Structure 1
Amino acid sequence: IAGKTSLWSRDATLQQVLMSEWSVSFTSLYNLLKAKLCPYFYVCTYQFTVLFRAAGLAGSDVITAVISPTTRGLREAMRNEGIDFSLPLVEETRINSPETGKNTEDGEEQGVSDDESFSWLEEMGVQDKIKKPDAISVKLRKEKNEVQVDHKPESVALVKGTNTFMLLNFLINCKSLVAVAGPQAGLPPTLLSPVAFRGATMQTLKARSINVKTPVHSCYNDIFSLEITGPVMPHCLHTLTMLLKSAQRGAFSAVLYTHEPTAVFNTNTERILNKETMCKDLTKCGLHLKTLDQLIQLPTLGKSSIRLLEMRDYAYTWKS
């Protein structure tokens, strides 16, 4: 559709209908997530991606939503709607930094304030000879510090608990969520889920198998290659590894290409919970129990993602 004029790009009424139907689908998915009948789902906009996770996934006992990448404008709009969120990577940097005056994402000083830093000068009686930064300069500096993380992995935002419902309403009513130009003009964001929901359509991944004979000494060996393209979600990847483990007798390798802005979703943002209890509550979400067990565990990859996965003698190794 990239080179064609889409019907919905210039028809405001049709766009309104599409957005209304999308809102129903989005709300349906959230309700399934809340009831633990859906483990997770993605909201893919043309500017950022949101991953909603059910309570019990990634070590959290409440529903979580992770947004990447974010901008100062988006974060400010979320604050104005009363949505509480954190920036895990920024806060981690601030805590681990040896500098006492390091700036946080919110532009606030960690450590002494400007007023306190000038108090010792007053005690010496030289405060008049030192130019104290005015309010405008301080504000500009804070805004600069906040903008520095825009569009970067460090801009990832975490929303928890009831704030995720507020985020849902925010996204439904956000006018800038729909592109005004390009191939996605007038189209609501894409919803990706491992389970069916109201208004959903089933999409199949494109697969292509190749058989190549390679010379080894005086004979030829068969090498089989399977290429899968499309949005391969985490549960699908784990299911494929279980299939290949059995079919290839514990020996295979896979090269993975990740949508870069979503790699940061592997960041650990929670604490470990009672895995058995959480797994029991999520057994009706439609995932294989072994896959569910993997998704419940705390993420360990940080801001990176798996690039190469290999299995030899039923043992995994990987590179990120």
Structure 2
Amino acid sequence: MGATRTVAVYSLGGTIAMAADPATGGVVPALSAHDLLAAVPHLKGRGVELRVHDFRRVPGASLSFGDLAELGAAIDETLTDGDVDGVVITQGTDTIEETAFVLDLHHGHEQPVVVTGALRNPTMAGPDGPANLYAAVLAAAAPQLRGAGVLVVLNDEIHAARHVRKSHTTSPAAFTSPAAGPLGRIAEDGVRLTAAPPRRFGPLAWRRGRDVRVGLYTVSLGDDGELLAAWEGRCDGLVVAAFGVGHVPQRLVESLERLAARVPVVLASRIDNGPVLTGTYGYPGSERDLIGRGLVPAGDLGPYQARLLLHELLAQGDSDREAIAEGFAAFAR
């Protein structure tokens, strides 16, 4: 790899850091960042200096926006003040796609940030954590990934935060990018890119002036709207995961229009692959009808990513429909 590169490693817990717990009979986060790296002897001799930060030891499902804000601030300080060439984050795979997406909205440095984890914990035959950590460090140290933002690396594949999804509950090949495919792979101890990183949004500042609650409502067959009505007065914004290209039953239309008059309501597709349309269908409950009633189209963002973008825009103080619509339109460009 040439001259020595420096990579900062932040461990948050998750399956990759779990060990057996006699009290529960299951596995729990227990291993430190140093423990994880000790299981990857192949990193020696790769020309990479590691700076290790044992940041959290929690399951991925227990991470919060506060954790991400603190992590983002720590990474920002590391990349601003030090001579670090890249960052690796290890965490539970339950929320990797969400962590990567939020961090990418705020990441304003040239150095790449690589998020990784494991599907097989260290007590199982063939745990994938060491291989994923090895690949993530190589990616974080790779000069060709400068400017690529936040990436997810598992199973030797490199994915952009904007497109990556967890597509299987247990497979080591769980992470895919349905709309775009991976950016590249790790092979023969190096990065091999097959696509250019997507254009990035932001960066947004880490502002937490107030707590923000953003709901996610998934439309389903036979939906009578009663559960949708329960969101009124209980959220600062709402994402609707609609049918197909952005459709809902006609009986939900008036409730959505009332909600959109009070808080930003974003229209996404529950399919999580492909765009919400804006002007094709014209019946009540169609995407054209809903946008005309004040809903904001999510573009090609799936409902989980749309919720995160709406949350972070609201946290910036942008709460009117026009500002939110401008934010989503800027992300889509």
TM over 0.5: no
Bigger relative contact order, structure 1 or 2 (CA pairs below 8 A, ≥6 apart) = 1
Between Structure 1 and Structure 2, the one with more helix by share is 1
**Range into which the TM-score falls when normalised by the shorter chain:** under 0.3
Which has the larger Rg? 1
Between Structure 1 and Structure 2, the one with more strand by share is 2
Question: How high is the TM-score relative to the length of structure 1?
Answer: 0.25
